[in-house]
Amino acid sequence: MKAAILGATGLVGQRFVQLLNDHPWFEITALTGSERTAGMRYGEAVTWRIETGLKEEIAELTVQPSNPKEIDADIVFSALPADQAIGIEEAFAKAGYAVVSNASAHRMAPDVPLMNPEVNFSHLKLIDEQRHTRNWDGALVTNPNCTTAVLSLSLKPICDRYGVKSVVMSSMQAASGAGYPGVASLDIINNVIPFIKEEEEKVQRETRKILGNVGQSAEFNVSASCHRVPVIDGHTEAVFVQTAKPAKPEQVADCMAEFSAEPQELKLPSAPERPIIVRSEQDRPQPRFDRNEGRGMSIVVGRVRRDPVLDGVKYVALGHNMVRGAAGCAILIAESMKSQGYI
Amino acid sequence: MKAAILGATGLVGQRFVQLLNDHPWFEITALTGSERTAGMRYGEAVTWRIETGLKEEIAELTVQPSNPKEIDADIVFSALPADQAIGIEEAFAKAGYAVVSNASAHRMAPDVPLMNPEVNFSHLKLIDEQRHTRNWDGALVTNPNCTTAVLSLSLKPICDRYGVKSVVMSSMQAASGAGYPGVASLDIINNVIPFIKEEEEKVQRETRKILGNVGQSAEFNVSASCHRVPVIDGHTEAVFVQTAKPAKPEQVADCMAEFSAEPQELKLPSAPERPIIVRSEQDRPQPRFDRNEGRGMSIVVGRVRRDPVLDGVKYVALGHNMVRGAAGCAILIAESMKSQGYI
Amino acid sequence: MKAAILGATGLVGQRFVQLLNDHPWFEITALTGSERTAGMRYGEAVTWRIETGLKEEIAELTVQPSNPKEIDADIVFSALPADQAIGIEEAFAKAGYAVVSNASAHRMAPDVPLMNPEVNFSHLKLIDEQRHTRNWDGALVTNPNCTTAVLSLSLKPICDRYGVKSVVMSSMQAASGAGYPGVASLDIINNVIPFIKEEEEKVQRETRKILGNVGQSAEFNVSASCHRVPVIDGHTEAVFVQTAKPAKPEQVADCMAEFSAEPQELKLPSAPERPIIVRSEQDRPQPRFDRNEGRGMSIVVGRVRRDPVLDGVKYVALGHNMVRGAAGCAILIAESMKSQGYI
Amino acid sequence: MKAAILGATGLVGQRFVQLLNDHPWFEITALTGSERTAGMRYGEAVTWRIETGLKEEIAELTVQPSNPKEIDADIVFSALPADQAIGIEEAFAKAGYAVVSNASAHRMAPDVPLMNPEVNFSHLKLIDEQRHTRNWDGALVTNPNCTTAVLSLSLKPICDRYGVKSVVMSSMQAASGAGYPGVASLDIINNVIPFIKEEEEKVQRETRKILGNVGQSAEFNVSASCHRVPVIDGHTEAVFVQTAKPAKPEQVADCMAEFSAEPQELKLPSAPERPIIVRSEQDRPQPRFDRNEGRGMSIVVGRVRRDPVLDGVKYVALGHNMVRGAAGCAILIAESMKSQGYI
């Protein structure tokens, strides 16, 4: 299948390029960029910031404008900034494309699935309603923001087995989450920035939409405090959970480690063998050593222990913000859509 | 008054040296070290890791063994490691010295005041009981661990005005908290370590002792998750507080900004004019820009906002872990003791 | 005397603000900015990135456009970008102002003194020629680029005593040298960037102009390789020098340590007591511990040793790129000009 | 062939484990450690600091003492500290083992080949002399220190084509070069350390031995200045070369890019396709993006330009200090030895 990447020169766009490069189902056929870069060689237009390097055949592609009429693709991945995403993504869906977007623009729209495939695979069926309502043949599906992707996956087995009554989450987020050039070195070397614009609001509402039923957010509350730390890739999250039923830390660790869902059953190409890897060492997970587990699609959880305040459990979760938290998640969504006949 | 520093070559010992260097009341007369360093010039024995440099006259002092008989001092500051602190500090107190310790060894002993002077000045009176029970003329008083020093000070005005029912705290702690050589660069560059040995237990129990009454810990629960980040100095803490009475974020910010206590009234030399500085910018406090407020003795609080889970407030607090969280706090304790006639 | 700062919101502009804040001779009366910021409060227009904080009375000043007619000042400090500096600085000089510029625009002009006051104080007299040639009452004087400021000062005593035949220099430069936002964190965390635009050319020609006579660059060659490292402030330079006369490392270290020049004799306010501090430890200088020597105006040299290739000496020099290498140097130039009656 | 790793728990030992894990010729059969770790499971004895993780089957091996009688191996890789290496490596060679060592202990011994296979493959024949002189059946061969491995490889094609008269080199070295725990975070975050014990001496003498003939060091001089920067892996080197014959930068870049040697011709498993990759971008090589080229066995060179002082060329070279500069180089040496019948 032919895949286009909208906003391919940004950091998330680059991750799409990297992850689709050897993909068994999807082949990159179009890369779009801003007016400034349209017409340039991709290799010239992009400031490539991924450590594994850019393949020469991709570098040779010509950057196109984000115009549905000029693109040849079966599936469209959007790494557009939120403000541009609104109009462009709708235009593509209206033109019949299946659009999977990393942008926040449409995430909370009632007829747009906000998908983290292992967590809410069944929400895909919202596409039928969307097609009906919006009267288009295309589709518009979104992935969650990077922090929510990690958090919601870690919560899923607890929700299923013990129920969740409330969640407090404090994040230590990587610089790559802010794109490129993004965070200035003078702001983050030897420093912590205790603020990421709109991030807490996104985490608080997206987590509930993903873990809820179609059309109905989950009933528990989420309180987030989001912080930027001097790390290139990998978001670390301290999570405190009040469970509905009593749950011992070992039980929670076990249900996380055993967790598996539709993407694993369907053996989707980007589905990690184990969505959640639980480590027993007292000092893990750590971004530098754990972010690439499951080729960046697994999250790693450690330090599952009793929480004396919420009368539940607390733990530390880590995931690769650019893979599980962005491009990788979107690709897994596309694979899920294809497996269900939506593409 | 003559001041001795036990364990003066370590990182906290160095801070004592730096802060006492121009102190109006205390003059450094003795520095002790391990068997290896005893007899050496201090300048030779120490790997000085403070950016402001070591004064030549201090560098010339000879390191002594930690033996009460060989020390000439009115007040003794201890920066000993916990395992050595137990015996040595008691020996000094027994020999009649007033000992103010940064070590964790005696913090939870019922007859040892665990002091953060602006928070629990009245706990000093426990010294009377201690002298009676232990039958000594000296005194043994401790400061809290660095994370608790910041947390308990930030909570104090909330406790007073609205009452506290529970606290969740997630920290992003500086490397200097682990001493020198401490955290290996290979462990922390481009990384987060989500574990600090015994730190969470210390925070959870010390906070309650400090904010409680003499002999009775406060009744609320504290849940801590402690993490090390690539920052040299300055602990950042995301704090979530359930209050007893309804409290709006602006009210909490105001009561923090207005907070002042005995050390301010007594104009103790190390007491910062404002113990808590509240910043209104959305991205403060930050360790690199805020850790030296009040010469490291003020904490800086920002982002005071409503907490949807605990039905209270959440905020970010920052303090200099080596000053307010260690040597500076101990010196303020000594000043408090002197002001009350305990030295 | 009244001082204006052109381009006051940038990083060098901020350093001018910080250093002039308590200056005994100069008082800040005007701050200029871009069209975007003109009319705003300075505190609002600036993203203050200096750790010591911005004084409230300066924050209250209104940012003005860089127009000579609207400025009230006796001396004008320019922190303008090079492209803007050309026209604006000339306009100010033409209007009769004494302009001391940190911009590279006019540095190599034959009738513009390129000053590092301890190195080439006598070059000030070029102002007379400039006034004559350009037919203006003002003056236009520049400081060197940050790397050259450190290098040329370290070379001066060697030039005087032993003569210099050639210089190889490899730098490890701080991120602040690139301004704000400047170097992206994704480019420099856990990385080195072995390139700084036009820096090597500047070092190679400015060093020779400063160490030469008026109107005639020094005859030795300089070869520079410039690199950016993950450091906030402080440029470290590995210097290899071929001397004209045989010079032992100890002799070179001594002549550096003893070095003193006109600014010291005149006791100019910003002149450090010792322009060059020589450290004998084997692992100094280091940016974090040495960059603030002499309030950032001293350079620190260490590891003076024989060079087996150039048959001379090699050493490591360090200086604060924003103080000695930028605003501090410019202020010392202004003090020098005032002392000689040029203002 | 069976391979033993001496000193397998250290950082270089870990790299041997990682690189030998899937090696087509060598299989790990023995891991040795200190008295403290002997008898422990390797997974328990080691603080694994490589990002790709430790395979379970290796983790299960039992650490043995470094005793030739207890080891079952055809080839022995030594990652021992220099002081232990002297006796132990000789004992192994005496017992008939082929020892390839990363330790500095024997590097300069006249009858010990100091090998960087693409540079001085022919030096292998010194083994014959060594066996005769030392009267043993084993062999003792060493790799260069990490900085020299990169430098000497970059110089080889220049030596061959244009001749080298002198070399100045200034390094920016990664923290991993100091082992684990190695460099303290308090020493290197936001800092540069301009000193690495004995490193400059090693670079100056080892480079000449490698680029010379058997028994005769090359006649040019090398001057090194070595510095530690906040980078995990990858040494960056600014190199200034005086050539014997005139050489234009483009010519030098071409001869580097075309360079290939015996390991490539013999298609040795660890030989990178291109030993030297020349990049034309103005800001490369960079450790984070280039250190893994050729699976860490290629060096990357950029910025080849004229040097005005040495009347030759200057350039920046980068290599993975733990692979090309340590374990990878040693493995390539072993492959070279096997190809020539020395094992």
The pLDDT tens digits of the residues spanning C133-171 come to 999 999 999 999 999 999 999 999 999 999 999 999 999
Assign 3-class secondary structure to D81-112. CHHHHHHHHHHHHHCCCEEEECCCCCCCCCCC
Q: Give C238-249 pLDDT, tens digit per residue.
A: 999 999 999 999
* Residues of chain C neighbouring A187 (CB-CB closer than 8 A): 49, 181, 185
How many angstroms away from the CA of A297 is the closest CA of chain D? Answer: 15
Return the residue of A nearest to B176 by Cα: A190
Integer angstrom CA distances of residue C317 from A104, B47, C72:
49, 21, 39
Instruction: Identify the CA nearest to B241 among candidates B311, B172, B303, B153.
Output: B311
Provide the strand spans (E) within A27-175.
Answer: 27-32, 63-64, 75-78, 98-101, 139-142, 164-173
- Residue A119: predicted pLDDT: 98
Q: Cβ–Cβ of A194/B236 closer than 8 Å?
A: yes
Q: How far apart are CA A152 and CA C260, in angstroms?
A: 65
Q: What residue type is assigned to position A297 of the chain?
A: M
Average pLDDT over residues B46-64: 95
Quick one: chain A helix, strand, coil %, rounded to 5?
35, 25, 40
Q: Give B126-167 pLDDT, tens digit per residue.
A: 999 999 999 999 999 999 999 999 999 999 999 999 999 999
Instruction: Identify the CA nearest to D71 among candidates D42, D19, D29, D40.
Output: D29
Q: How far apart are CA D6 and CA D160, in angstroms?
A: 36
Specify whether B235 is catalytic: yes
Return the residue of C nearest to A188 by Cα: C185
* Residues of chain A neighbouring D51 (CB-CB closer than 8 A): 288-289, 292
Give the neighbor-by-neighbor strand order of the sheet with B2-6.
Answer: B63-64, B27-32, B2-6, B75-78, B98-101, B139-142
Q: How far apart are CA A177 and CA D284, in angstroms?
A: 24
**Is-contact A189 B297, C-beta < 8 A?**
no
- Residue C150: predicted pLDDT: 98
Q: How far apart are CA C261 and CA C256, in angstroms?
A: 12
Residues 6+ apart with CB under 8 A from B177: B146, B147, B196, B228, B235, B321, B322, B325
Q: Cβ–Cβ of B185/D182 closer than 8 Å?
A: yes
Long-range contacts, stretch D57-61, CB < 8 angstroms, 24+ apart? D58/D17, D58/D21, D58/D28, D58/D31, D61/D28, D61/D30, D61/D31
* Measured distance between the N- and C-terminal CA atoms of chain A, rounded to whole angstroms: 9
Integer angstrom CA distances of residue C300 from A186, A324, C249:
23, 48, 16
Asked if the interface predicted TM-score (ipTM) of this complex is over 0.90, the answer is yes
> And the tokens for A224?
């987030």
**Is-contact A191 B287, C-beta < 8 A?**
yes
* Selected residue of D18, D47, D48, D51 to mutate for chain A interface (largest A Cβ count, 10 A): D51
Q: Give D18-56 pLDDT, tens digit per residue.
A: 999 999 999 999 999 999 999 999 999 999 999 989 999
Which SS3 state, helix, strand or coil, does residue D203 take? helix
Residues 6+ apart with CB under 8 A from D122: D214
- Residue C339: predicted pLDDT: 98
- Residue B212: predicted pLDDT: 98
Which residue in the set D168, D194, D289 is minimally distant from C302, CB to CB? D194
% of chain C exceeding 70 in pLDDT = 100
Q: Cβ–Cβ of D310/C225 closer than 8 Å?
A: no
Assign 3-class secondary structure to A289-302. HHCCHHHHCCEEEE
Q: Cβ–Cβ of B195/A283 closer than 8 Å?
A: yes
Q: Cβ–Cβ of D229/C229 closer than 8 Å?
A: yes
- Residue A310: predicted pLDDT: 95
% of chain D exceeding 90 in pLDDT = 99
- Residue B255: predicted pLDDT: 98
- Residue D89: predicted pLDDT: 98
Q: How far apart are CA C179 and CA C9, in angstroms?
A: 11
Which residue in the set C52, C190, C289 is minimally distant from B51, CB to CB? C289
Average pLDDT over residues C31-43: 96
Question: C302 pairs with which residues across the strands?
Answer: C279, C316
How many angstroms away from the CA of B337 is the closest CA of chain A? Answer: 35
* Residue B34 CB-density burial (10 A; 0-12 exposed, 13-18 middle, 19+ buried): middle
Tokens 């209007």 found at: C95
Compute the Cα dihedral for A171, A177, A178, A182 and give only its sign.
positive
- Residue B138: predicted pLDDT: 97
Which SS3 state, helix, strand or coil, does residue D59 take? helix
Task: Give me Rg for the CA atoms of chain B.
Answer: 19
Query: Chains touching chain C at 3 or more Cβ pairs under 8 angstroms?
Result: A, B, D
What is the CB neighbour count within 10 angstroms for residue B216? 10
Q: Cβ–Cβ of D53/A289 closer than 8 Å?
A: yes
Q: Give D127-163 pLDDT, tens digit per residue.
A: 999 999 999 999 999 999 999 999 999 999 999 999 9
Q: How far apart are CA B82 and CA B199, in angstroms?
A: 13
Q: Cβ–Cβ of C185/A184 closer than 8 Å?
A: yes
Catalytic site residues of D? 146, 235
> And the tokens for C188?
């420099």
Q: Cβ–Cβ of D51/A289 closer than 8 Å?
A: yes
How many angstroms away from the CA of A139 is the closest CA of chain B? Answer: 34
DSSP B33: -
- Residue C31: predicted pLDDT: 98
What is the CB neighbour count within 10 angstroms for residue B80? 26
* Residue A93 CB-density burial (10 A; 0-12 exposed, 13-18 middle, 19+ buried): buried
Instruction: Identify the CA nearest to B315 among candidates B236, B255, B258, B238.
Output: B238
DSSP string, A197-225: TTHHHHHHHHHHHHHSBTTB--SSEEEEE
- Residue B36: predicted pLDDT: 94
C291 touches chain D (CB under 8 A): no
Quick one: chain D helix, strand, coil %, rounded to 5?
35, 25, 40
On whether the pTM is more than 0.90, the answer is yes
DSSP C327: I
Q: Quote the longest CA-to-CA distance of chain B.
A: 59
DSSP A323: I
Residues 6+ apart with CB under 8 A from A57: none
Return the residue of B nearest to A235 by Cα: B192
Query: Chains touching chain D at 3 or more Cβ pairs under 8 angstroms?
Result: A, B, C
Return the residue of C nearest to A182 by Cα: C184
Residues 6+ apart with CB under 8 A from B284: A194, B290, B300, B302, B303
**Is-contact A208 A220, C-beta < 8 A?**
yes
- Residue A120: predicted pLDDT: 98
DSSP B78: E
- Residue D46: predicted pLDDT: 97
Determine the angle formed by the axes of helices D146-162 and D249-257, rounding to 10 degrees.
110
Task: Give me Rg for the CA atoms of chain D.
Answer: 19
- φ, ψ for residue A299 (rounded to 5)? -100, 155
Q: Cβ–Cβ of D183/B185 closer than 8 Å?
A: yes
pLDDT band for C107, please (50, 70, 90 cuts). Answer: very high
Which SS3 state, helix, strand or coil, does residue C320 take? coil
Tokens 């235009």 found at: A91
- Residue C329: predicted pLDDT: 98
Query: Number of CB pairs < 8 Å for B and C?
Result: 16
Task: Give me Rg for the CA atoms of chain A.
Answer: 19
Which residue in the set A49, A186, A232 is minimally distant from C176, CB to CB? A186
pLDDT, block means (10 residues), chain D with 343 residues: 97 98 96 96 96 94 96 96 95 97 97 98 98 96 98 98 98 98 98 98 98 96 98 98 98 98 98 98 97 98 97 97 98 98 95
- Residue C121: predicted pLDDT: 98
Q: How far apart are CA D257 and CA D298, in angstroms?
A: 11
- Residue C15: predicted pLDDT: 98
How many angstroms away from the CA of A190 is the closest CA of chain D? Answer: 7
DSSP A95: T
pLDDT band for C43, please (50, 70, 90 cuts). Answer: very high
D40 touches chain B (CB under 8 A): no
pLDDT, block means (10 residues), chain A with 343 residues: 97 98 96 96 96 94 96 96 95 97 97 98 98 96 98 98 98 98 98 98 98 96 98 98 98 98 98 98 97 98 97 97 98 98 95
Residue D88 — left, alpha, or beta (φ > 0 → left; ψ -120 to 50 → alpha)?
alpha
> And the tokens for C223?
């070869």
* Residues of chain D neighbouring B15 (CB-CB closer than 8 A): none
**Is-contact B144 B118, C-beta < 8 A?**
no
Question: Which of 170-189 (B) contact A at CB < 8 A?
Answer: 170, 172
Compute the Cα dihedral for B303, B306, B307, B311 and give only its sign.
positive
Question: B257 pairs with which residues across the strands?
Answer: none
Q: How far apart are CA D171 and CA D238, in angstroms?
A: 6
**Is-contact D86 D13, C-beta < 8 A?**
no
